[in-house]
Amino acid sequence: MPMFPGDVGPVMLAPPPPLPFFPIAAVQSGLGFMHMSAPPEIVTARSKLNSDAPSFSPRSPAASAAAAADEVEVRDVWAANLEEEMRSIGALLPTYPVVSMDTEFPGTVHDVATPRHLRTPRESYAVVKRNVDELHLLQLGLALSGPAGRCPVAWQFNFAGFDARRDPHSGSSVAMLAAHGVDFAALRRHGIDHGDFARAFGRSKLACGRLTWAAFSGSYDFAYLVKVLTGGRPLPSTLEGFMAKVSKIFGPAVLDVKHLAKFCGGGGGIRGGLEHVAAALGVHRAAGRAHNAGSDSLLTSDVLHAMVDRFFPNYGVLNHAGAIDGLVKCSNLYYKY
């Protein structure tokens, strides 16, 4: 995704307190989605996840050891091959139930004076909403993984609809994406219609509610995908409404790898952007280039599994389900929106 100002290199934080489990509701009758009601102000700890909840499926030790050497393809998806590739993804989900994603978009055009690290979750969401409501999704990357290891293909969905001659955007972000290989002319000519993607997504089983979804600094990633999957309508007016929508579409097992990084490392955490966190963990980019959604989703997947292998035994990573970086505050007793 486009870089945000203020990202820094790996910095070890003070040890954070443990976090509780998020509540998970039963499967919604007739819809096939697992959902969580609008988040309460305070959520107390739970001893375990509900029995009907999805579980995180880490790679086996053998698969983890082999991942660095495995070859992987980043496959471009355009309008012409959307249906075929969505069918392929649906068929692979039982084997690879962890979906890591990344988005690319034309920067941001709205901000506030308050520094990002001082904003409340609601202030942060208000900025995300203003930008996502006005701007266009350019790319979506999906990388699948699970006990069998890394899926040998990561997908890069290329979307139509953006034209820098008429649509709001950040000039520096668009220039950066072009320098990293994003072909804006090809997007206009061959890109996927957002409505076609939403319909194919619905048929693909990606919204079955029993997958684990992950992103790095995922507020914009989940926001753009929610916008596309709800017909381009404005995002919910409140943070609570947005989180309820995320849970309804993606299920309860939603992880943010940047948030998880705060709970990794001997000194209590790792700070910085995706590349910095990957370097701190010794994870290398398996394919493609930075600021391309397919490649970044793949790196997000590998970073997530490296974290789980080292820092989250017994699948404790699901203690952090529902916490999207920037959209949640935490203490030793609760998450608070």
| C-alpha span between 182 and 158 (Å, rounded) | 9
| C-alpha span between 252 and 53 (Å, rounded) | 7
For residues 297 and 225, the answer to whether their CB atoms sit within 8 Å is: no
Q: How many residues belong to the chain?
A: 337
**In the prediction, which pLDDT does 36 show?**
28
Reading the chain (337 residues) residue by residue, the pLDDT tens digits are 554 433 333 333 333 333 322 222 222 222 222 222 222 222 222 222 333 445 666 666 555 555 555 789 999 999 999 999 999 999 999 999 999 999 999 999 999 999 988 999 999 999 999 999 999 999 999 999 998 889 999 999 999 999 999 999 999 999 999 999 999 999 999 999 999 999 999 999 999 889 999 999 999 999 999 999 999 999 999 999 999 999 999 999 999 999 999 988 766 688 899 999 999 999 999 898 898 999 999 999 999 999 998 888 766 888 899 999 999 876 543 456 6
Superfamily of the domain at 73-320: Ribonuclease H-like superfamily/Ribonuclease H (3.30.420.10)
**In the prediction, which pLDDT does 33 show?**
24
Position 43, amino acid: V
* Residue environment code for 16-31, b if the CB has 16+ CB neighbours within 10 A, otherwise e: eeebbbbbbeebeeee
- Give CA angle at 156 (168, 307), nearest 5°: 105
**In the prediction, which pLDDT does 283 show?**
93
For residues 249 and 226, the answer to whether their CB atoms sit within 8 Å is: yes
- Give CA angle at 64 (59, 67), nearest 5°: 115
| C-alpha span between 251 and 127 (Å, rounded) | 24
What token pair was written down for 305?
């599994």
**In the prediction, which pLDDT does 217 show?**
94
* Residue environment code for 275-312, b if the CB has 16+ CB neighbours within 10 A, otherwise e: bbbbbbbebeebbbeebbbbbbbbbbbbbbbbbbeebb
The domains of the chain are located at 73-320
| C-alpha span between 68 and 79 (Å, rounded) | 32
- From first CA to last CA, the distance across the chain in angstroms is 24
